[in-house]
Chains A and B, each alone.
Chain A
Amino acid sequence: MRGFRYLSCLILLALMFLLAGCATTRVTTEAEVPARHSISEFDGQRFAEVADPWERFNRSMYRFNFYFDKYLFLPVVNGYEFVTPTFLQERISGFYHNLDELQNFSNSLFQLKGGEAVTTLGRFLTNSTVGLGGLFDPATSFGLERRDQDFGKTLGYWGTGSGPYLVLPLFGPSSVRDAGGLAVDSAITYGVYSGIDPFGSTGNSFAISVGMTTLWGIDKRHTQSFRYYESGNPFEYYLVRFFYHEKREIESGKRLPEE
């Protein structure tokens, strides 16, 4: 597992520099003429503003994700959708969705939300048993509502600001806080699975883990319909940034300004 991670990190970094580095040369043939309308005409509050001091880096990463999708991720996902019956796809999504409850549970605890933690634990136990390891979701029909939680939200809940906007490779829109949260959640998940080592007895623990992680990635992309640069609007980057930021702020329960 660890070897695989190092290797994939290396490949990823190489790809990132390759793709992010190109096209920075500027070719200007004719002198610029000021535009008819400029920002000086407009004052008042800015629209859809989000702290983004590393915009150039973020836009490169956004472009990297586009290329990664185009040449690797989406072809693989399409192949997966082609060979796997829909019924099976849904069961696979359910399985991983159920594993995520671990993260929902730990973060409900971190936020000292007892009732929510009990509900999430109830969901996990129900779906893992009656729901055959998460393949089905009977818990929802029993009235146990799913509460998606992560460490980014936990930090937000305890008052940590989002920090600057950050576009992560593969994961996409994030912030400094949420990227940190992602690292913590991944570490906890990794720790738990290493502790349990569910495939330890098979003798092929490494190969199975790699397979499980790969399928997890494919399933995540499969369930996400977003496609980079396909909105038909050249300001997509700002719209995505704005909606991501606001959604996280609202869902993490940020302090509201006094009216």
Chain B
Amino acid sequence: MINLKLLIIFCCLLLPVACLGADSDYGYPIQGSHEASILGTPAELMPEFPASLPTRQLVLDLFPDRPKPPLFFYDQGLRCTFAYQNKKAPLVFLIGGAGASDRTAKLLTMMKALHQAGFHVITLPSPTSSNFVISASRSSLPGDLTEDAADLYRAMEMAWKQVQGTIEVSSFHLCGYSLGGSQAAFVAKLDEQRRVFNFNKVLMINPPVSLYSSVTRIEELMKQIPGGAKNQGAFVNRMLLKFSQFYRYGKFVSINDDFLYAIYTDRLFSHDETAGLIGISYRIGLAGMTFTSDVMTNSGYVVPKNRVLQPTDSLYEYFLVSTHLSFFDYFNEQFFPHFLKQRPGLTKQQLIDSQSLSSIEEYLKSTDKFGVITNENDFILTRAELDYLRQLFGERARIYPRGGHLGNLEYRENLAYMIAFFKDAEALQ
């Protein structure tokens, strides 16, 4: 079993050598941007971690007086996972990507790697996750980098208050991936005024430069679905059929890593089909955010205004409606009107421009605490945006030749770089 996997990986490793030359010393095997984003890192290419580490889950009650809709009876507060050292050590806050909870696999891998290297770690859910919208967002209308950063900062302060007495901390660092990467930059900026943490180093992994531009590129993946996004039901069913036929005729024993790798090596799904699948999984996350936000704000977007949903009520129709709505629907019908009400005269373009790293460019240039990791073929960035990151961060931008969007985040070399980035700061102290 293991030999088979190694063989497959070996084959993958052989392929790029001939065509890439200069990149051959970077061992992440998956070439395609979409494929890498879906498959991530093969388990054999991740570092080895101890079977268990001392962690505990923090549940932060940020709004003791906020009435909770009965539908979200299970949500008792913002959940963060805390991994600690028994000695004085730096603490890293980790912010997940769009839709991530505090226990998302990628966050847990980063947590394990950092803990193994001697850091305390606290993972935070993404402001776009249902948990955050319910328990930590003041507006319950996520998507604004400045407001989300302020909410994140409050949550970090409270988390720190909860663990302060139990551990010794030498300094604070901050790290986020994808949307969480951009949010980290805004949190760091806020910290310059608030000075609670004085973040020493801030690392952004595969961040969007402009939120709107990146989401536009992801939404475009949905166009690869024949008939467009409205046909996603039929598309998923057809992909499933392909999937089951492949399983049946390939005589696989279960849906496991070997099977998934075989799908990749046999090119079961075309580039466009893979794009469609990424688009759909993104839409499911977006639907969760839109729906939760709608229930919390009672704005009558997909759930009738004033309807009080109960824990056992069916949500299936809301699920279907929400997954059919695009980010642009949310932006134009919910997000922009909300900010227009607060700031009369605001134009859409102004709001779009404020959701970007370039809007805080002066700040980003003024400090050398930032670092960025991304990939040449990360499909959420345009060529110009990639160059922008290069020019903005210079040597502190580490750009890998492949990995798609987050595909190589859990790869050994990437995690080692992340650790070295934070360790460097310690060595300088």
Contact = CB atoms under 8 A, between A and B. Distances in A.
A237 B284 contact: no
A251 interface: yes
A250 B255 contact: yes
Among A28, A42, A47, chain B packs the most CB atoms within 10 A around the CB of A47
Contact of A232 (B131, B311, B313): B131
A97 interface: no
B333 interface: yes
Nearest to B247: A250
A3 interface: no
Given A32-B306, A230-B101, A235-B287, A256 B321 contact: no
Interface residues of B, number: 71
Given A33-B304, A35-B301, A238 B315 contact: yes
A203 interface: no
A234 B315 contact: yes
Interface in B244-269: 244-245, 247-248, 253-255
Contact of A45 (B233, B245, B313, B329): B233
Interface stretch (B122-130, B165-173, B396-404): B122-130
B70 A23 contact: yes
Contact of B311 (A59, A235, A254): A59
A37 B323 CA distance: 11
Contacts of A232: 99-101, 104, 125-126, 129-132, 288
Given A59-B312, A63-B311, A229 B291 contact: no
Interface of B: 1, 51-52, 70-75, 79, 99-101, 103-104, 125-126, 129-132, 230-234, 236-237, 240-241, 243-245, 247-248, 253-255, 284-285, 287-288, 291-292, 295, 300-308, 310-317, 319-325, 329, 333
A2 interface: no
Interface of A: 23-24, 26-39, 41-42, 44-49, 55-56, 59-60, 63, 66, 81, 86, 90, 140, 145-148, 227-235, 237-239, 246-247, 249-251, 253-254, 256-257, 259
Nearest to A116: B253
Contacts of A231: 101
Q: Do most interface residues of chain A lie in helix, strand or loop, or is the interface mixed?
A: loop
Contacts of A29: 306
Contact of B236 (A26, A48, A228, A259): A48
B301 A230 contact: no
B290 to A, nearest CB: 10
Given A37-B302, A46-B233, A46-B320, A55 B103 contact: no
A59 B74 CA distance: 13
Contact of B103 (A59, A147, A230, A247): A230
